[in-house]
A and B are shown apart, each in its own frame.
Chain A
């Protein structure tokens, strides 16, 4: 067995395999298929200060080698999470990371502060791809000032490992990565979904109720690998890579490009056992390549 443990800030993961927020429910949905404790950790659904009903149906459509979604952060709010879901999740031994979202900087900080009090939550992942209502809905994550402001506020409210999840819908992702690093992020994760659109030409209508949505799945992988590679050259903090990882091979692509850990998203819908298969593959890969520790392979490209 190769050494698969990795470190993200103060967070020790038994292996580099995490799950992507919004694609893995609260983990429990997958308990019939895999041993959740065999993952490095799992990142639960996007959580907001207040409950959110999300967008209208239809919220998804399949596209070539991927899908568009417009779920719109449906969740029951951070208080419900703390009271009703968190206690159940503490029975698992792998790391539980909460993904947080907001429509104002203060909302992010309030959610982070509440989560800071939970002993089993050692890290949060901040989704900055959300519209900032105060600036007319432009996503925080698309400007260096917006990304920095959210990171700064959350940093003050949360003293454990802070991961900022970057949006790929920008001209230069390395700029945003540097901005959040400067405000004290312990790590960055990338990529969130790519903005896309699909039209039903027979009905002459967009497939999604919101017209546009987030593209995920195998189709986005080359874009994601490129961005991880670029960000790896630009910042010193660890990178968590994701976007279109469907197999162990794909996970290795991200690690070689510079990711210390990876997240598996849409692939869980197709193969609910894919995460544990990826853990096994990485171990087998290391042995096949005569590497005793996965850390030796991070960012060698």
Chain B
């Protein structure tokens, strides 16, 4: 893709050392890491909520890197947080990295969530590890005087992710498939959706995002979604990650992963 004026952010390739690893559900690990070279400061990278990283899998577990959302950046401690779900060889190798191990990461990639559509009462909907970028975004909103409402979905009680961390920035509502916690059923059937919000931001499984987008459209709320198309390079060089938009095929890694639903052709 040719360089677009809105995307002039610098990309870095950095070795990180894992400092903390914690199972936050039976198949998801929260990894915290700091640049192996302490001179490398995350605050100088201008990382925005909704951007992602391309992680090289340890011991060449896979041939290509794996895209993972930036969950949070702790500027004080110079730490990057990634929330990783066991989805296959690559993610498993990343999530099993022990404290002290090194991960080579390219970041920050793509465009994050936009503030233009936000309004005073945004609703942030996350399904599964789709909650990851909502943490950094929630913190960013709060710092800008906006209190977001979070709605998160999970299979059951044990799989609910980041609830305590998200609740620092705004109220959290939960839906579980089996009703073992919060509302029973799909995220988009949660009772909180009966209330009025100024905008919707969502990240998670495609059917969930499509359903959320349908609700946003019906209620005339602006909405942004974060897509997870399969990626080759993550930096706009291979054109493998395309999504059909009103502007034609565009790279999700470069012009996304976050898109306003008015740009997408998936209203089917």
- Chain A interface (Cβ within 8 Å of chain B)? 22-26, 28-30, 32-33, 45, 53-54, 57-67, 69, 71, 74, 84-85, 217-218, 266, 268-273
Contact = CB atoms under 8 A, between A and B. Distances in A.
Contacts of B235: 25, 29-30, 272
Given A54-B242, A269-B65, 13 more contacts: A26-B2, A53-B248, A57-B242, A57-B243, A58-B230, A69-B240, A71-B239, A217-B63, A269-B64, A269-B233, A269-B237, A269-B238, A273-B13
A85 B10 CA distance: 20
Contacts of B13: 33, 271-273
10 contacts: A23-B237, A45-B239, A54-B249, A57-B241, A58-B229, A59-B240, A59-B241, A59-B242, A60-B230, A269-B234
B237 A32 contact: no
Nearest to A33: B13
B94 to A, nearest CB: 15
B198 to A, nearest CB: 32
A33 B11 contact: yes
A28 B65 CA distance: 20
Contacts of A74: 239, 242, 249
Closest 4 pairs between A and B when the two form their complex, measured CB to CB: A60-B240, A25-B237, A269-B233, A32-B11
Contact of B64 (A30, A53, A62): A62
Contacts of A24: 237
Contact of A85 (B2, B12, B65, B237): B2
B237 A268 contact: yes
B170 interface: no
A22 B249 CA distance: 16
Given A23-B237, A58-B230, A59-B239, A67 B3 contact: no
B41 interface: no
